[in-house]
Structure 1
Amino acid sequence: MWNIPNCVGAIDGKHVAIKCPAKSSSMYYNYKKFFSIVLMAVCDAKYTFTAVSIGSYGSQSDGGIFQLSSFGQNLMQNTLPLPPPARISMESPQPLPHFFVGDAAFPLRTNLMRPYPGFNLPRTKRIFNYRLSRARRVIENSFGILTARWRILRTTIECDPKNCEKKVLAYIVLHNFIILNDHNRWYCPENYVDRQEPGNIVHRGEWRREINSESSLPRIRTTIRRASTNAFNIRDRLADYFINEGALPYQDDIDLSIGGPYI
């Protein structure tokens, strides 16, 4: 659906604002200067959440939030029940592993792709970054829909962290239930998410106008670790695929010189 083969989901993390817990000192006080617990989540192309980890301290090292979650540990140890490697096209004889996509905050792994770093990148790397970011944006849309529809997430939740974790999980379960049964598209209309129309016309999702992105579920930051040679090779093979048999007709029309409108 988002033109990136072997991708099984997009991952991101956000802070959920809570009142200062009693006798918590600064454990929940984050770099944005408010008290929070962290929601780490994965979603699929239909904006349903497929894995979540809720409750890390807002003050924790951002790298530690991902690496200490059960999902993060299984991903880093390559023990997640992912499908076996598969060919991404008829032109590619060697299969590639299935993977998640994340932004530059996440480490590059054989099962987790992140953008190429730096500026003034060659065309192949710029297009890879655009294609990856376009696929990764589904998690931004999922968080946006969740926050716009369950508006308590736009405020400071007035309860202790354990009850807050249960509430956030309940909102996610309800979100998934509605998304999967919303046949009339009233919960998530076609124009509610970021989209791209023929002629390279880019539209920002309506959820962005309903929430204040700076105060609703602000993103986490993660410490990067050195990737393996195999992970670099997989990213290079995907980048080569995106400019050859996997090219999209409009990808060269995007102004990628300064990053481009990554949707």
Structure 2
Amino acid sequence: MSIWKRLQPIVMPIPTEDLWRTIEKHFHEKWNFPNCVGAIDGKHVVIEAPPNSGSLYYNYKKTFSIVLMALVDANYKIIIADVGAFGKNSDGGIFSNSVMGKALINGNLSIPPNKPLPGTNITLPHVIVGDEAFPLHKHVMRPYPGTQTRHDESKAIFNYRLSRARRLSENMFGILTQSLEFIRGDFKCHQNIYIM
């Protein structure tokens, strides 16, 4: 606990409106997705089933897990994390019941006010982006369902751009996993790249 107290303000400070604005600027410049202040996803961490836990930790992959949910910036850095949800729960359910999700929904995350999209007078809220498992909300964007994009090119383009921004959270988990495997000394092959 004392490590967290000392390092948290340095490595994972509580987001301020200024920090959100900086993150939004980077999402716009690097990933061509304006008004975005983060990408969110969950990662199952395999565990041994705790005694007397029944199916609480049993997930759709037929293993036991807890879920690490993370909101990341445009540079793959974790801004907010939630650790320990039961593996049986969906990402959307975990998000909605997390401190982070409740704070976002209740307007307690210091998200900046609405801002015009570049080159327009259309004012929209700042958002985090996630996959279809997450609930659509004023500050949460998710892709259009595939059936809506078949005959609507503008929706297909939107999904492509949202996916580019959203995959930062998935890629962060890949980077984290590879780093942990390296630390543990595993010699694993991933896409013909050997980690030693």
Superposition TM-score tier, normalisation by shorter sequence: 0.7 to 0.9
- Written as runs of structure 1 = structure 2, the 5 A alignment for 1:48-127 is 48-60=77-89, 62-90=91-119, 92-119=120-147, 120-127=150-157
Give the 3 Å change call, closer, same or farther, for CA 24–153 of structure 1 in structure 2. Answer: farther
Shift of 1:152: 8.3
> In the alignment, is the contact (CA less than 8 A) between 2:91 and 2:134 conserved in 1?
no
Q: How many residues align?
A: 158
Give the 3 Å change call, closer, same or farther, for CA 121–129 of structure 1 in structure 2. Answer: farther
- How far apart, CA to CA, are the structure 1 residues paired with 2:182 and 2:85? 19
Find out whether 1:138 has 2:172 as its counterpart.
no
Shift of 1:63: 3.7
Give the 3 Å change call, closer, same or farther, for CA 61–147 of structure 1 in structure 2. Answer: closer
In the alignment, structure 2 segments of 5+ residues that lack a partner are: 1-29
Find out whether 1:25 has 2:7 as its counterpart.
no
Shift of 1:7: 0.5
- How far apart, CA to CA, are the structure 1 residues paired with 2:51 and 2:82? 23
Shift of 1:30: 1.3
Query: What is the percentage of aligned positions where both structures have the same residue?
Result: 54
Give the 3 Å change call, closer, same or farther, for CA 60–103 of structure 1 in structure 2. Answer: closer
> In the alignment, is the contact (CA less than 8 A) between 1:39 and 1:53 conserved in 2?
yes
Shift of 1:79: 2.8
- How far apart, CA to CA, are the structure 1 residues paired with 2:144 and 2:190? 27
Q: Which one has a larger percent helix, Structure 1 or Structure 2? A: 2
Deviations for 1:114-160, whole angstroms, at most 9, x for unmatched residues?
Answer: 11113313111000000100111111111110001112899xxxxxx
Give the 3 Å change call, closer, same or farther, for CA 41–116 of structure 1 in structure 2. Answer: same
Question: Pick from 66, 70, 86: which aligns with 1:37?
Answer: 66
- Greater length-normalized contact order (CA 8 Å, ≥ 6 residues apart): 1
- How far apart, CA to CA, are the structure 2 residues paired with 1:26 and 1:152? 32
Instruction: Name the counterpart of 2:191.
Output: 209
TM-score by length of 1: 0.56
Shift of 1:94: 3.5
- How far apart, CA to CA, are the structure 2 residues paired with 1:115 and 1:55? 27
Q: Which one has a larger percent strand, Structure 1 or Structure 2? A: 2
Aligned CA RMSD, in angstroms, stands at 2.3
- How far apart, CA to CA, are the structure 2 residues paired with 1:136 and 1:109? 16
